[in-house]
Every structure is written in C-alpha cells, then in structure tokens.
Amino acid sequence: MNLIQEISLFAEPVARIGKYAVTNSMLASWVAAIIIIIFSLSLRFKLKEIPRGMQNLFEMLVEGAFSLIDQVTGDRKLSEKVFPIALPLFLFILLNNWIGLMPLGWVGQVEHTGKGFLFVPYLRGGSADVNTTIALAVMSVLAANLFGVLSIGIWKVFNKYVNIKVLSSIPGRIKKDLTVVIVAPITFFVGLIEIIGEIAKMVSLAFRLFGNIFAGEVLLYSMAALIPYIVPVPFLFLELLMTSIQALIFAMLVVVYFTISASEHGHEDETDVRKEQEEIKEVLSAKA
C-alpha cells in the first residue's frame, strides 16, 4: 500500500455533521476548549484557603500573568479587567499549538486518493489553520475597541477614527488662522488611517501566529521523513518552546491593544487638537 503523508495548507475534514464538515483543526480547537473548561471547573470546586498541588501551581501562574500584564498596563485595575481575556486566550492558543505536536496528533485515518492512500490526522493544531488565527485576531481587535468604548466612551473612540471635532473647529478658527483650512482636513484623514491600522493589526496577529505554527509543522514532518528516529526529538522540544513563545506574544499583543484602546485619546481635549494642528502647520511651513 502506497501511504502518503503530506502537510496541507488547509485543514482536512475528518467527519461530517449533516452537511457540515468537521476539520481536524476544528476538532483540536474543541478539545482545547473542553480541556480549559474542565480544568477551570475542577479547580473552581476544589478551591481551598491553603493552596496545594494544582491550585498552588495555578496561583503561581496567575501571579506571573498579572506581573507581565502590569508591565504593559502600568495599572493593576486595568490589568484586572484585561486579565480574564488575556490568560484564557494564551491557554487556548498554547493548547492548540501543542495538540498537533502530541502523540494524539499522529492518530488519524487513511483516505484513498488518485495518488494512493493519504494519511489524515484526527487532531491538527488549530493555530496551523489560518481560519482559526483570523477568527482569533478579528475577535481580539474588535474586543479591544469595544473595551475602549466601555472605558473612555463611544464618542472618543469614534472621534479617534472619524475626527469630526477637528472639522467642526474650522468655522470658529478660520478668521484667526487661514491655515486651519489645510491643517484640519489633514488631521481628519490621519484619523481615517487609524482604521487601516486596525485592519493591519488583524492581519499581523493572524498571519504571524499561523506562519510560525505551520512552518514548525513543516519542519517536523520534513525531519521525520528524512530521519525518522532520534534526530527529530530535539526539533520537537524546540517546537514546544517556540509555540509557547508564540502564544505568549499573541496574548501580550492583545493586552497592548486593550491598553491603547483604554487610554489613547482618552484625555484629548481642544488643546490637544490645536497642538496636533500646530505640529502639522510647522511641517508644512518647513517644506514651503
């Protein structure tokens, strides 16, 4: 039997629920979510005043996570608001990254193709599927903006992207300063560029995570195909370390986005707008 084992850029379907195809990366994501839920519930119902065993380990993890988040936010109250999103996101991505590396990721089914028999694993790290990483990135950036709305108000968040305030200041200032006719529209369009920046955040988050995890899978499969025994083991441990770092980077970037959304333009007033306009005016004068 000619058994083929190859890495597909896309997740492979392993089952069907009616007309809905269940892919191996989707199955791995479900497994990761179920593990987190079961672990959280079991820990919740076994809490003790004097921590022992798993509770002690988890409390150390929580303290370490708060310490890292505090370094970004600089405010424990803000950290407490971001923490319930950052830590579960980190654990979910970490488990997704590791599932494809574990022995269970090597259990699968054999499908007949025109080239021969193709091996399809039942579990493939969800982060190796670009659909999963895009979903996580879009959710994170949108949640950061929603967090900004709840923290500083919908008007300030909206004005960050569509700076109506600077346009409305033109009639009142045009008699004193004619350059406001040029400076104000430039300031307005700078705000519109922020929208492109939010889209760039989604693309960066999604493809950085997907690219690193998929490249790691390719490396491991290639090494296993060339030299099946012993040699791939160091690369496996390297992948475990790299996937952990990628999960941490993703979570910390989300913390940064939440912090920026909660503070950026949060204290902006008329003086700040005029200061921005003066800076643009100086640049225009220098070029003239």
pLDDT tops 90 at residue 146: yes
Does residue 7 have a pLDDT over 90?
no
For residue 113, is pLDDT > 80? Answer: no
Which of 20, 237, 17, 209 has the alpha carbon at shortest distance from 125?
209
Two tokens, residue 221 = 């499969």
Q: Could you tell me the pTM of the whole model?
A: 0.78
Per-residue model confidence as pLDDT tens digits over 226-241: 776 676 677 778 888 8
pLDDT computed for residue 205 by the predictor? 92
Cα–Cα distance for residue pair 250/137, rounded to 1 Å: 9
User: CA–CA separation, 116 vs 76, rounded Å?
Assistant: 58
Q: Does 37 score more than 80 pLDDT?
A: yes
Which tens digit of pLDDT belongs to each residue from 62-108? 888 899 999 988 888 888 999 999 999 999 999 988 887 775 556 65
**Where along the chain do its domains lie?**
3-287
Give me the residue label for tokens 């160091």: 234
